Amino acid sequence: MAESRVPHASLPPPASTIGVVGWLRRNLFSSPLNIVLTLLAVYLLFVTLPPLLRWAFLDASWRGDDREACRSGGACWVFIRVHFEQFMYGFYPDGQRWRVNAAVLLLILGAAPLFMRAVSSKFKIRLGLGLLIGYPFVAFALLKGGMIGLPVVDTSQWGGLLLTLVIAGVGMTAALPLGVLLALGRRSRMPAIQTLCVTFIEFWRGVPLITVLFMSSVMLPLFLPVGMNFDKLLRALIGVTLFQGAYMAEVVRGGLQAIPKGQFEAAAALGLGYWKTMGLIVLPQALKLVIPGIVNTFIALFKDTSLVLIIGLFDLMNIVHNATTNPAWLGFSTEGYVFAALVYWLFCFGMSRYSQNLEKHLHTGHKR
Protein backbone atom coordinates (compact mmCIF):
# COMPACT_ATOMS: atom_id res chain seq x y z
CA MET A 1 0.00 0.00 0.00
CA ALA A 2 1.22 3.22 -0.96
CA GLU A 3 1.35 5.56 1.79
CA SER A 4 1.34 9.20 1.01
CA ARG A 5 3.51 11.07 3.36
CA VAL A 6 2.38 14.61 3.33
CA PRO A 7 4.68 16.62 5.51
CA HIS A 8 2.99 18.48 8.28
CA ALA A 9 2.99 22.19 7.73
CA SER A 10 6.01 23.49 9.54
CA LEU A 11 5.37 24.98 12.95
CA PRO A 12 5.92 28.69 13.42
CA PRO A 13 9.35 29.49 14.78
CA PRO A 14 9.45 29.69 18.56
CA ALA A 15 8.97 33.14 20.01
CA SER A 16 12.20 35.00 20.00
CA THR A 17 14.00 34.70 23.29
CA ILE A 18 16.87 36.95 22.37
CA GLY A 19 17.17 40.57 21.45
CA VAL A 20 14.97 43.37 22.62
CA VAL A 21 11.72 41.64 21.81
CA GLY A 22 12.74 38.48 23.63
CA TRP A 23 13.88 40.41 26.63
CA LEU A 24 10.65 42.35 26.75
CA ARG A 25 8.60 39.23 26.42
CA ARG A 26 10.54 37.39 29.07
CA ASN A 27 10.75 40.20 31.57
CA LEU A 28 7.66 42.28 31.09
CA PHE A 29 4.94 40.35 29.30
CA SER A 30 5.39 36.74 30.35
CA SER A 31 1.85 36.25 31.66
CA PRO A 32 -1.45 38.13 31.75
CA LEU A 33 -0.76 39.16 35.34
CA ASN A 34 2.64 40.45 34.37
CA ILE A 35 1.19 42.42 31.50
CA VAL A 36 -1.22 44.11 33.87
CA LEU A 37 1.55 44.83 36.36
CA THR A 38 3.80 46.23 33.68
CA LEU A 39 1.09 48.51 32.39
CA LEU A 40 0.36 49.67 35.91
CA ALA A 41 4.01 50.39 36.58
CA VAL A 42 4.38 52.28 33.32
CA TYR A 43 1.32 54.33 34.17
CA LEU A 44 2.70 55.07 37.64
CA LEU A 45 5.99 56.27 36.18
CA PHE A 46 4.17 58.30 33.56
CA VAL A 47 2.15 60.08 36.22
CA THR A 48 4.98 60.78 38.65
CA LEU A 49 8.21 61.19 36.73
CA PRO A 50 7.50 64.04 34.27
CA PRO A 51 6.17 66.48 36.89
CA LEU A 52 9.03 65.54 39.17
CA LEU A 53 11.64 66.15 36.50
CA ARG A 54 9.97 69.38 35.50
CA TRP A 55 10.01 70.55 39.11
CA ALA A 56 13.56 69.49 39.83
CA PHE A 57 15.25 70.51 36.59
CA LEU A 58 13.28 72.11 33.79
CA ASP A 59 11.37 74.71 35.81
CA ALA A 60 13.94 75.03 38.56
CA SER A 61 15.74 78.26 39.42
CA TRP A 62 19.50 78.01 39.67
CA ARG A 63 20.73 81.59 39.47
CA GLY A 64 20.22 84.54 41.74
CA ASP A 65 20.84 85.54 45.34
CA ASP A 66 17.43 85.93 46.94
CA ARG A 67 13.95 84.54 46.81
CA GLU A 68 13.02 86.97 44.04
CA ALA A 69 14.97 84.68 41.73
CA CYS A 70 12.54 81.87 42.45
CA ARG A 71 9.39 82.72 40.61
CA SER A 72 9.42 79.97 38.01
CA GLY A 73 7.29 77.57 40.03
CA GLY A 74 9.94 74.86 39.96
CA ALA A 75 12.46 74.00 42.61
CA CYS A 76 14.41 76.90 44.05
CA TRP A 77 17.97 75.62 44.15
CA VAL A 78 19.11 79.18 44.81
CA PHE A 79 18.08 78.52 48.40
CA ILE A 80 20.62 75.71 48.58
CA ARG A 81 23.31 77.70 46.80
CA VAL A 82 22.98 80.66 49.14
CA HIS A 83 23.12 78.45 52.23
CA PHE A 84 25.60 75.92 50.90
CA GLU A 85 28.60 77.06 52.96
CA GLN A 86 26.46 77.09 56.08
CA PHE A 87 25.17 73.58 55.38
CA MET A 88 28.72 72.32 55.03
CA TYR A 89 30.51 74.10 57.89
CA GLY A 90 27.80 75.31 60.25
CA PHE A 91 28.99 78.27 62.31
CA TYR A 92 32.66 77.46 61.77
CA PRO A 93 34.34 80.87 61.40
CA ASP A 94 34.70 82.05 57.82
CA GLY A 95 38.44 82.53 57.80
CA GLN A 96 39.13 79.15 59.39
CA ARG A 97 37.16 76.91 57.07
CA TRP A 98 40.28 75.83 55.23
CA ARG A 99 41.06 73.76 58.31
CA VAL A 100 37.97 71.66 57.73
CA ASN A 101 38.88 71.21 54.09
CA ALA A 102 42.42 70.30 55.09
CA ALA A 103 41.18 67.69 57.55
CA VAL A 104 38.96 66.11 54.90
CA LEU A 105 41.70 66.21 52.29
CA LEU A 106 44.11 64.61 54.74
CA LEU A 107 41.70 61.77 55.33
CA ILE A 108 41.13 61.21 51.63
CA LEU A 109 44.86 61.22 50.88
CA GLY A 110 45.62 59.02 53.87
CA ALA A 111 42.91 56.52 53.10
CA ALA A 112 43.39 56.41 49.34
CA PRO A 113 46.03 53.62 49.38
CA LEU A 114 43.57 51.42 51.27
CA PHE A 115 41.39 51.28 48.19
CA MET A 116 44.19 50.52 45.72
CA ARG A 117 44.71 47.00 44.52
CA ALA A 118 48.43 47.51 43.96
CA VAL A 119 49.25 48.22 47.60
CA SER A 120 50.29 45.19 49.65
CA SER A 121 47.80 44.10 52.25
CA LYS A 122 50.37 44.24 55.04
CA PHE A 123 50.93 47.91 54.34
CA LYS A 124 47.19 48.43 54.16
CA ILE A 125 46.68 46.97 57.59
CA ARG A 126 49.43 49.11 59.10
CA LEU A 127 48.16 52.22 57.38
CA GLY A 128 44.59 51.46 58.35
CA LEU A 129 45.46 50.98 62.00
CA GLY A 130 47.65 54.06 61.96
CA LEU A 131 44.84 56.12 60.47
CA LEU A 132 42.34 54.69 62.91
CA ILE A 133 44.43 55.65 65.90
CA GLY A 134 46.29 58.70 64.66
CA TYR A 135 43.81 60.51 62.45
CA PRO A 136 41.22 61.41 65.12
CA PHE A 137 43.92 63.25 67.09
CA VAL A 138 45.28 65.08 64.08
CA ALA A 139 41.79 66.01 62.91
CA PHE A 140 40.75 67.13 66.37
CA ALA A 141 43.84 69.29 66.73
CA LEU A 142 43.21 70.81 63.33
CA LEU A 143 39.52 71.45 63.88
CA LYS A 144 39.60 72.57 67.48
CA GLY A 145 42.86 74.50 67.26
CA GLY A 146 44.51 76.06 70.26
CA MET A 147 47.99 74.87 69.25
CA ILE A 148 50.62 75.66 66.63
CA GLY A 149 49.13 79.10 66.21
CA LEU A 150 45.64 78.00 65.22
CA PRO A 151 42.91 79.97 66.97
CA VAL A 152 40.52 77.88 69.04
CA VAL A 153 37.22 77.04 67.39
CA ASP A 154 34.87 75.82 70.06
CA THR A 155 32.92 72.65 69.32
CA SER A 156 29.68 74.63 69.70
CA GLN A 157 30.63 76.39 66.46
CA TRP A 158 31.07 73.14 64.56
CA GLY A 159 28.08 72.41 62.44
CA GLY A 160 26.56 71.25 59.22
CA LEU A 161 27.92 68.29 57.34
CA LEU A 162 31.19 68.70 59.26
CA LEU A 163 29.47 67.90 62.53
CA THR A 164 27.51 65.05 61.02
CA LEU A 165 30.74 63.51 59.76
CA VAL A 166 32.52 64.04 63.07
CA ILE A 167 29.73 62.32 65.00
CA ALA A 168 29.42 59.51 62.47
CA GLY A 169 33.19 59.01 62.20
CA VAL A 170 33.85 58.92 65.91
CA GLY A 171 30.74 56.83 66.50
CA MET A 172 31.82 54.20 63.97
CA THR A 173 35.41 54.04 65.18
CA ALA A 174 34.32 53.60 68.76
CA ALA A 175 31.19 51.47 68.33
CA LEU A 176 32.91 48.59 66.54
CA PRO A 177 35.52 47.80 69.24
CA LEU A 178 32.89 48.31 71.91
CA GLY A 179 30.55 45.97 70.07
CA VAL A 180 33.26 43.33 69.72
CA LEU A 181 34.08 43.49 73.43
CA LEU A 182 30.42 43.30 74.42
CA ALA A 183 29.83 40.38 72.07
CA LEU A 184 32.82 38.51 73.48
CA GLY A 185 31.48 39.27 76.96
CA ARG A 186 28.07 37.97 76.05
CA ARG A 187 29.58 34.74 74.74
CA SER A 188 31.87 34.49 77.75
CA ARG A 189 31.63 31.51 80.07
CA MET A 190 31.93 33.72 83.13
CA PRO A 191 28.37 34.20 84.40
CA ALA A 192 28.95 37.60 85.98
CA ILE A 193 30.57 39.07 82.85
CA GLN A 194 27.88 37.53 80.68
CA THR A 195 25.06 38.95 82.79
CA LEU A 196 26.62 42.38 82.81
CA CYS A 197 27.03 42.40 79.06
CA VAL A 198 23.54 41.07 78.38
CA THR A 199 22.00 43.68 80.68
CA PHE A 200 24.05 46.44 79.10
CA ILE A 201 23.17 45.38 75.55
CA GLU A 202 19.50 44.86 76.22
CA PHE A 203 19.22 48.14 78.05
CA TRP A 204 20.63 50.21 75.21
CA ARG A 205 18.70 48.29 72.60
CA GLY A 206 15.50 48.74 74.52
CA VAL A 207 15.38 52.51 74.89
CA PRO A 208 14.93 55.15 72.19
CA LEU A 209 18.03 57.07 71.21
CA ILE A 210 16.43 60.43 71.81
CA THR A 211 15.88 59.74 75.50
CA VAL A 212 19.53 58.71 75.71
CA LEU A 213 20.59 61.91 74.00
CA PHE A 214 18.30 64.00 76.20
CA MET A 215 19.81 62.40 79.26
CA SER A 216 23.35 62.89 78.08
CA SER A 217 22.75 66.46 77.02
CA VAL A 218 20.86 67.98 79.93
CA MET A 219 20.77 65.49 82.79
CA LEU A 220 24.29 64.11 82.90
CA PRO A 221 25.70 66.76 85.29
CA LEU A 222 23.15 65.58 87.86
CA PHE A 223 24.96 62.24 88.03
CA LEU A 224 28.42 63.72 88.32
CA PRO A 225 30.12 65.53 91.16
CA VAL A 226 29.69 69.30 91.26
CA GLY A 227 31.78 71.15 88.72
CA MET A 228 32.67 68.09 86.66
CA ASN A 229 31.45 68.43 83.13
CA PHE A 230 32.19 67.40 79.56
CA ASP A 231 31.77 69.05 76.24
CA LYS A 232 28.22 68.78 74.89
CA LEU A 233 29.43 67.25 71.66
CA LEU A 234 31.48 64.67 73.52
CA ARG A 235 28.42 63.64 75.49
CA ALA A 236 26.35 63.22 72.35
CA LEU A 237 29.20 61.14 70.95
CA ILE A 238 29.23 58.90 74.00
CA GLY A 239 25.45 58.49 73.78
CA VAL A 240 25.53 57.54 70.10
CA THR A 241 28.49 55.19 70.61
CA LEU A 242 27.00 53.28 73.53
CA PHE A 243 23.70 52.98 71.70
CA GLN A 244 25.14 51.69 68.44
CA GLY A 245 27.77 49.66 70.29
CA ALA A 246 24.96 47.54 71.72
CA TYR A 247 23.55 46.95 68.24
CA MET A 248 27.03 46.17 66.96
CA ALA A 249 27.46 43.63 69.75
CA GLU A 250 24.44 41.70 68.51
CA VAL A 251 25.75 41.72 64.95
CA VAL A 252 29.17 40.47 66.03
CA ARG A 253 27.58 37.86 68.25
CA GLY A 254 25.84 36.46 65.17
CA GLY A 255 29.25 36.08 63.55
CA LEU A 256 30.77 34.45 66.61
CA GLN A 257 27.95 31.94 66.79
CA ALA A 258 28.51 30.96 63.18
CA ILE A 259 32.12 29.89 63.78
CA PRO A 260 32.23 26.10 64.12
CA LYS A 261 33.38 24.69 67.43
CA GLY A 262 36.25 22.95 65.66
CA GLN A 263 37.96 26.27 65.18
CA PHE A 264 38.01 26.94 68.93
CA GLU A 265 39.20 23.42 69.64
CA ALA A 266 41.90 23.61 67.02
CA ALA A 267 43.11 26.89 68.48
CA ALA A 268 43.13 25.40 71.98
CA ALA A 269 45.02 22.35 70.67
CA LEU A 270 47.65 24.68 69.29
CA GLY A 271 48.01 26.12 72.78
CA LEU A 272 46.62 29.54 72.00
CA GLY A 273 45.24 31.54 74.90
CA TYR A 274 41.86 33.26 74.92
CA TRP A 275 42.89 36.57 73.36
CA LYS A 276 45.06 34.89 70.73
CA THR A 277 42.28 32.45 69.85
CA MET A 278 39.85 35.28 69.49
CA GLY A 279 42.18 37.75 67.82
CA LEU A 280 43.86 35.42 65.35
CA ILE A 281 41.34 32.68 64.67
CA VAL A 282 37.78 33.50 65.59
CA LEU A 283 37.28 37.24 65.13
CA PRO A 284 38.82 37.52 61.64
CA GLN A 285 36.41 34.86 60.43
CA ALA A 286 33.45 36.08 62.43
CA LEU A 287 33.81 39.72 61.42
CA LYS A 288 34.17 38.77 57.78
CA LEU A 289 30.93 36.83 57.99
CA VAL A 290 29.02 39.78 59.34
CA ILE A 291 30.37 42.59 57.17
CA PRO A 292 26.91 43.34 55.82
CA GLY A 293 25.56 43.57 59.35
CA ILE A 294 28.40 45.80 60.47
CA VAL A 295 27.93 48.13 57.54
CA ASN A 296 24.19 48.20 58.16
CA THR A 297 24.88 49.27 61.71
CA PHE A 298 27.24 51.95 60.40
CA ILE A 299 24.53 53.16 58.06
CA ALA A 300 22.03 53.21 60.91
CA LEU A 301 24.53 55.18 62.97
CA PHE A 302 25.05 57.65 60.16
CA LYS A 303 21.33 58.22 59.88
CA ASP A 304 20.93 58.42 63.64
CA THR A 305 23.35 61.34 63.82
CA SER A 306 20.39 63.42 62.61
CA LEU A 307 18.78 62.96 66.03
CA VAL A 308 21.23 65.35 67.65
CA LEU A 309 18.87 67.99 66.28
CA ILE A 310 16.68 67.27 69.25
CA ILE A 311 19.41 68.26 71.70
CA GLY A 312 20.27 71.42 69.80
CA LEU A 313 23.47 70.47 68.01
CA PHE A 314 23.58 72.01 64.55
CA ASP A 315 24.33 69.02 62.38
CA LEU A 316 23.40 68.94 58.70
CA MET A 317 19.82 68.08 59.51
CA ASN A 318 19.34 70.84 62.06
CA ILE A 319 21.07 73.50 60.02
CA VAL A 320 18.88 72.74 57.00
CA HIS A 321 15.79 72.68 59.18
CA ASN A 322 16.87 75.99 60.67
CA ALA A 323 17.44 77.57 57.28
CA THR A 324 13.93 76.62 56.20
CA THR A 325 12.55 78.70 59.09
CA ASN A 326 14.60 81.74 58.03
CA PRO A 327 11.97 84.43 57.38
CA ALA A 328 13.72 85.55 54.21
CA TRP A 329 13.45 82.06 52.77
CA LEU A 330 10.15 80.70 54.05
CA GLY A 331 8.41 78.21 51.81
CA PHE A 332 11.43 76.32 50.53
CA SER A 333 11.28 73.44 52.99
CA THR A 334 11.01 70.89 50.21
CA GLU A 335 14.21 72.01 48.54
CA GLY A 336 16.06 71.99 51.86
CA TYR A 337 14.88 68.55 52.84
CA VAL A 338 15.52 67.14 49.37
CA PHE A 339 19.06 68.46 49.48
CA ALA A 340 19.70 67.01 52.95
CA ALA A 341 18.13 63.72 51.88
CA LEU A 342 20.40 63.59 48.87
CA VAL A 343 23.52 64.10 51.00
CA TYR A 344 22.51 61.44 53.52
CA TRP A 345 21.50 59.14 50.71
CA LEU A 346 24.85 59.47 48.93
CA PHE A 347 26.77 58.52 52.06
CA CYS A 348 24.50 55.64 53.05
CA PHE A 349 24.15 54.23 49.56
CA GLY A 350 27.90 54.57 49.05
CA MET A 351 28.57 52.63 52.23
CA SER A 352 26.21 49.82 51.32
CA ARG A 353 27.72 49.54 47.83
CA TYR A 354 31.22 49.48 49.26
CA SER A 355 30.26 46.73 51.67
CA GLN A 356 28.94 44.63 48.82
CA ASN A 357 32.24 45.03 46.99
CA LEU A 358 34.22 44.25 50.10
CA GLU A 359 32.17 41.15 50.67
CA LYS A 360 32.95 39.93 47.18
CA HIS A 361 36.61 40.81 47.54
CA LEU A 362 37.03 39.05 50.88
CA HIS A 363 35.08 36.01 49.76
CA THR A 364 37.62 33.22 50.13
CA GLY A 365 35.46 30.36 48.99
CA HIS A 366 34.43 29.17 52.43
CA LYS A 367 30.89 30.22 51.92
CA ARG A 368 28.59 27.31 51.41
Enumerate residues 6+ apart whose C-beta is below 8 A from 228. Answer: 221
The answer to whether residues 312 and 216 touch, using CB atoms and an 8 Å cutoff, is no
| Residue 209 beta carbon to other proteins: minimum distance, rounded to whole angstroms | 8
User: Per-residue x/- marks for other proteins, 166-195, CB under 8 A?
Assistant: -----------------------xxxxx--
Other Cβ atoms closer than 10 A to 160? 26
CA–centroid distance for 212 within its chain: 21
Q: CB under 8 A: which stretch of 24-32, 101-109, 128-136, 141-149 binds other proteins? A: 24-32
Q: CB under 8 A: which stretch of 97-105, 123-131, 202-210, 275-283 binds other proteins? A: 202-210
Residues 217-236 that bind other proteins (CB under 8 A): 217-227, 229, 232
Residues 116-145 that bind other proteins (CB under 8 A): none
DSSP bridge partners of 306: none
The alpha helices in 145-228, defined as continuous H runs, are 160-186, 191-206, 209-214, 220-223
Q: How far apart are CA 360 and CA 356, in angstroms?
A: 6
Which of 16, 27, 101, 257 contacts other proteins by CB under 8 A?
A: 27
Q: Does 47 bind other proteins (CB under 8 A)?
A: no
Which of 25, 54, 124, 321 contacts other proteins by CB under 8 A?
A: 321
Q: Which is nearer to other proteins, 21 or 119 (CB)?
A: 21
Q: Which is nearer to other proteins, 37 or 114 (CB)?
A: 37
Residues 78-107 that bind other proteins (CB under 8 A): 86, 90-91, 93-94
DSSP bridge partners of 90: 158
Q: How far apart are CA 364 and CA 13, in angstroms?
A: 45
Please report, for residues 22, 247, 264, 273, 313, the alpha-carbon distance to residue 305 in angstroms, rounded to integers and kept in the order given: 47, 15, 38, 39, 10
Residues 248-307 that bind other proteins (CB under 8 A): 299, 303-307
Q: CB under 8 A: which stretch of 5-13, 69-77, 109-117, 338-346 binds other proteins? A: 338-346
Q: CB under 8 A: which stretch of 69-77, 175-183, 262-270, 322-330 binds other proteins? A: 322-330
Collapse the DSSP code of 8 into the 3-class scheme (helix H, G, I; strand E, B; otherwise coil) and give the result: coil
